[in-house]
Structure 1
Amino acid sequence: MASSSDLAITMLRSTTSSWLFEAANKKSETIVLFSLAVFAITWYSWMVKKSSKGKFPLPPGPRGLPLLGYLPFLTNDLHHCFGKLSQTYGPIMKLRLGSKLCIVVSSPALAKEVMREQDPTFANRDVPVAALAMNYNGKDIGWAPNGPHLRLLRRVCSRELMSNKSLDSVYHLRRHEVRQMVRDVHSSINASIDLSELTFLTVLNVLTSTVWGGTLDGEGRRTIAAEFREWTQSAMALCAKPNVSDLFPVLARFDIQKVVREMNKLAEWMDKVFDTIIGQRREMDSVEKEKKGNKEESKDFLKLLLELTDEGDRKTPFTVTDLKALLLDMMVAGTDTTSTMVAWAMGELLRHPHEMKKVQEELEQVVGINNVVEEPDLPKLRYLDAVLKETHRLHPALPLLVSRSPSETCVVGGFTVPKGCQVMVNAWAIQRDPKVWSNPLEFKPERFLTEEYSKCEIRGTDYRYVPFGSGRRICVGLPLAERMLPFVVASLVHSFEWRWPEGTNYEFAEKFGIVTKQAVPLVAIPSPRLSNPELYA
């Protein structure tokens, strides 16, 4: 039998062995847990690295303030501001404007990516809330989302309204209004004329005459034109106004600045005008049907559109609301942009007498000093065409074009462009880029007569030159603008000599907006140039 001392020793050994075993087990557990933690961290880091492989960062851009982003640092002339920033951050950059992410593209290569190579992705618009209120909740061509409805509107516009056949059929209406402009100028010989106002009213009269033809008599059309001018200025001012609802969409329903409320009032007035004109046109058409003969009748745009609304076999019907939205597009966009470009062109020619003289000499050769300008003469006026192209290059009516919004996240220029952000193409910066254009700040129409720039057309096929955009969202009214702009400018330059009022120190500055106009109205004095006074009758 073991002694008590032996038993004590045995128990001590047993206890020590057990403690050492437990200690060893705990050490092993710690090692195992540590190893597992290291493995987990390593695996997670590897997975993150693997998942991010092939991902592209957001474009570079300036830092902003919390909540406001870069808003406090923007200047009134956004195209100038973005152009300067692009010199620091590159041809694609991001800015946080309130809660909205804005991507600005400023190079021909990246503009091509957006407007051609990834055109379907960028075919949607970033629509201001004011535009939705004005244009029947975005049902017009300018703001409608990409889809069947937009394709219907563009098809109607391009096939029915902007085809050569349709435009030729209403040439007599355009000619009448341009001749009236010449008579009005001739009645103010040797007096100062506000060319900005003159050209706006002329283009507006041309459009109203073209759109609803004889629906209104002369007095009625003049009354509507005067009211519409005021309406357009108010509507465009609201659309261009910085709006909290656009910068912080979560606040849109509160309409803090009352922009939507004011725009709804304007939209209601215009809708009533359209209803009145459409009603009168339908009455005229019913009378004409009773007197209809075998001869083919001349159709203005309103008549064509009303016939489309009466067709019942379309899968995608063309409604009266679509008709109104289309008319509104033509009246607002067509009037403001075309009249603005006439004013810029006349201003540049007044500033450059040598180029003015060359245009007049070309007109004498093609038209003749004893004749008035007609639309068929326009394709022969190559130097005038170069002058207008150079004017579009230096003074694009929409310097940032119309904002786009990608329908899915994509990559442009090696950078991620998130779905739903606002994308702007800075046409103004692209068309003044010294890497692309020689002496870019000089007014040199001759550049467009050289082989280097001969492919630059306003239809946006050369991405060094995109005054009207490109791709499926290019300005649908371009065919009409291509006729109206040179017709008006050629008639003014051929019919009159122009000079600045004595002592005038004209500032050729811009006033930024949706359409960038001259900051100071263009005023000049005409004198007769044609040899036969009867040509002004």
Structure 2
Amino acid sequence: MNSTIPKSNPTAATMASPLAAAMAATLFLIVALCTKAVYKGNKAVHKEGRGLPPGPAGLPVVGNMHQMLASKPVFRWLHELLKLIKEEIVCVRLGPVHVVVVACPEMGREVLRRKDAVFADRPTTFAAASFSVGYRSVSISPYGDQWKKMRRVLTSEILSPSAEHRLRGARQQEADHLLRYVKLQCSSSSNGGIIVDVRHVARHFCGNVIRRLALGRRHFRDAAMVGPGPGPDEEEHVDALFAVLNYLDAFCVSDYFPALVGLDLDGHEKVVKGVMRTLNRLHDPVIEERVEEWRLLRKAGAGRRDVADFLDVLASLDAADGSALLTVEEIKSQTIDIMIATVDNPSNAVEWALAEMMNKPEIMRKATEELDTVVGRDRLVQEGDIRGLNYLKACIREAFRIHPYHPLSPPRVAMADTTIAGYSIPKGSQVMLSRIGLGRNPKVWDEPLEFRPERHLTTDDADVTLSEPELRFVSFNTGRRGCPGISLGTEITMMLFARLLQGFVWTKPPGVDRIELREADTSLVLAQPLRLQAEPRLPAHLYL
């Protein structure tokens, strides 16, 4: 299923100040005058010794904004600049903000390791403020006391080993639901095989898992009213989560000229408001009811009851005076934060890995043989088996390397003047790692566009992990703004992949000789959702 933007009702435009209107008019007058100079400007490169990193020459006030507006999608323009200047770092100026993109592992390690404290901040934007409910969550909020507070909650309470163990049963149930759902589709076919939309299955598995873990439910309505697959609310929920991911760091004009917020020059603000209405409609009743339950428990002095999910954990935390540690707004914000961190990378990596494997049957054969050897066909693969599935993990690492969901890492903001590889990086600059620049870097990877899982295997049979500490590609972000849920992310990704491979024989649809491995024009997902024929390969009782 293609991720679609939830429909939103038109709302009254925010009243803009005369200054903002004047700025908007001035900006677009400049853009109109400079349109003819775009390509010429793209070729003009500033190389100021070891001053700023190289990049296209800009204009007064707007910098390279005119080029950005004429070069959508922006990430492809930035990567064309990297090729044009033949460097592994590029700098553009969008209004007053220097935006730096890094495509070299060594420079990436300098940013996220050696100078992690300098690059610990995040930008403030309309989308970030909206999705974080006023900067109350972890991943989106700027560096400061609120971020530190929520980071402690996330690492010590939500993603602790004990919490991960406590919720293993819920994750296993969703893996069982996945198998039954695909098997049910196969059963509806007269010849035992049916065309399955892998993207739809993968994204909704991730959605089901995180709803179970976060809210304690896989459906927003009575499951009996929904059926075995996602219902309308679940479809809209997953679409909204992907819309958050797609619009969070979308190079909106007002991100660099905050006075323009309210004019909605890109049309992003309307979408963001529509997404938040969807998430509020679905999340708020569940969250507010649970918070009230814990308020009444505190009032009655009834003591703590066992926590059943992430929401229970967040609502049950006590401050030093015995009151609730987190406000309702903080809980709502962190719930969105947890959910958007879960759905994109696992589903995208599995879809791309299967697409690549369809064109390389030898890789598929090795993967299924490993499953048969490590697990067998008389039981279902479990989380405890993941450690021994090195070839499957190598396939997912290779998918992360070549086919990340996001082309760029979330921007880090320099909190002081600093340098990268000797280049000057002014305070307030936004620095991003290029996921495709790292993962497809020919200086690092032999035949970088070739899907070759064996490159991730070692001769000493060491355990293969999905993380990449040397930043030769980006799977999970690192550093103090990095992903604290590597273990959970690995489990969700590998159980999705392993259950699909163990449970079914996957073949190309009739009449299709080769899967077209083409990216969408505006993103890195497959241009068309992967549709494959599935046929059960295990004893019938294992699907019950």
Confirm or deny a common fold (TM above 0.5): yes
Of 530, 534, 541, the residue aligned with 1:534 is: 541
Q: Write the deviation string for residues 399-438 of structure 1: whole angstroms up to 9, x where unpaired.
A: 2111111011111111100111221111211122121122
What's 2:55 paired with? 61
Q: Does 1:225 align with 2:234?
A: yes
Structure 1 residues 507-522: aligned runs within 5 Å: 507-511=516-520, 516-522=524-530
Following superposition, the deviation at residue 329 of structure 1 comes to 1.1
Following superposition, the deviation at residue 512 of structure 1 comes to 6.7
Q: Write the deviation string for residues 240-273 of structure 1: whole angstroms up to 9, x where unpaired.
A: 6552212433423533345334423432442343
CA distance in 2, matches of 1:508, 1:409: 42
Following superposition, the deviation at residue 87 of structure 1 comes to 6.0
* Stretch moving more, 276-285 or 516-525: 276-285
CA distance in 1, matches of 2:81, 2:450: 19
Of 173, 180, 183, the residue aligned with 1:186 is: 183
Structure 1 residues 446-457: aligned runs within 5 Å: 446-450=454-458, 457=465
CA distance in 2, matches of 1:218, 1:458: 34
Secondary structure at the counterpart of residue 337 of structure 2: helix
Of 252, 269, 282, the residue aligned with 1:260 is: 269
Q: 1:115 to 1:454 in 2, by over 3 A?
A: farther
- Letter paired with 1:535: L
Structure 1 residues 485-496: aligned runs within 5 Å: 485-496=493-504
Q: Does 1:111 align with 2:119?
A: no
Structure 1 residues 21-170: aligned runs within 5 Å: 56-64=50-58, 67=62, 69=64, 70-71=67-68, 74-76=71-73, 78=75, 81-82=78-79, 85-86=82-83, 88-170=85-167
CA distance in 1, matches of 2:295, 2:124: 39
Q: Write the deviation string for residues 39-92 of structure 1: whole angstroms up to 9, x where unpaired.
A: xxxxxxxxxxxxxxxx95111212356646232563537257426625624222
- Letter paired with 1:299: A
What's 1:395 paired with? 403
Q: 1:294 to 1:349 in 2, by over 3 A?
A: farther
What's 2:209 paired with? 206
What's 1:330 paired with? 338
CA distance in 1, matches of 2:58, 2:225: 52
Q: 1:516 to 1:141 in 2, by over 3 A?
A: farther
Q: Write the deviation string for residues 460-491 of structure 1: whole angstroms up to 9, x where unpaired.
A: 42122333222111123322111000001100
Q: Write the deviation string for residues 323-378 of structure 1: whole angstroms up to 9, x where unpaired.
A: 11111011123112322222122222222211111111111111111111111111
On the 8 A contact 1:387/1:445 being kept in 2, the answer is: yes
Name the structure where helix makes up a greater proportion of residues. 1
- Letter paired with 2:201: L
What's 1:301 paired with? 310
Q: 1:118 to 1:238 in 2, by over 3 A?
A: closer
On the 8 A contact 2:55/2:81 being kept in 1, the answer is: no
Q: Which stretches in structure 1 are left out of the alignment for 5+ residues? A: 1-54
Following superposition, the deviation at residue 314 of structure 1 comes to 8.8
CA distance in 2, matches of 1:464, 1:102: 21
* Stretch moving more, 161-170 or 58-67: 58-67
Q: 1:322 to 1:287 in 2, by over 3 A?
A: closer
- Letter paired with 1:120: A
Q: Write the deviation string for residues 79-120 of structure 1: whole angstroms up to 9, x where unpaired.
A: 574266256242222123355321111111111111111101
Q: Does 1:471 align with 2:465?
A: no
Q: Write the deviation string for residues 366-393 of structure 1: whole angstroms up to 9, x where unpaired.
A: 1111111111111111111111111111
On the 8 A contact 2:409/2:434 being kept in 1, the answer is: yes
Secondary structure at the counterpart of residue 55 of structure 2: coil
On the 8 A contact 1:434/1:440 being kept in 2, the answer is: yes
Secondary structure at the counterpart of residue 182 of structure 2: helix
CA distance in 2, matches of 1:523, 1:333: 25
CA distance in 2, matches of 1:255, 1:390: 39
Of 416, 426, 433, the residue aligned with 1:408 is: 416
Secondary structure at the counterpart of residue 471 of structure 1: coil
Q: 1:106 to 1:238 in 2, by over 3 A?
A: closer
Q: Does 1:360 align with 2:368?
A: yes
* Aligned residues with identical type, % of pairs: 29
Q: Does 1:422 align with 2:430?
A: yes
CA distance in 2, matches of 1:346, 1:365: 20
Secondary structure at the counterpart of residue 56 of structure 2: coil
On the 8 A contact 2:82/2:89 being kept in 1, the answer is: no
Secondary structure at the counterpart of residue 380 of structure 2: coil
What's 1:245 paired with? 254
What's 2:515 paired with? 506
CA distance in 2, matches of 1:268, 1:117: 41
Structure 1 residues 348-387: aligned runs within 5 Å: 348-387=356-395
Q: 1:129 to 1:416 in 2, by over 3 A?
A: same
- Letter paired with 2:396: L
Q: 1:407 to 1:60 in 2, by over 3 A?
A: same
On the 8 A contact 2:122/2:412 being kept in 1, the answer is: yes
CA distance in 1, matches of 2:204, 2:504: 19
Q: 1:369 to 1:471 in 2, by over 3 A?
A: same
Following superposition, the deviation at residue 493 of structure 1 comes to 0.2
On the 8 A contact 1:102/1:421 being kept in 2, the answer is: yes
What's 1:23 paired with? none
What's 1:15 paired with? none
Secondary structure at the counterpart of residue 104 of structure 1: strand
Count of aligned residue pairs for this structure pair: 480
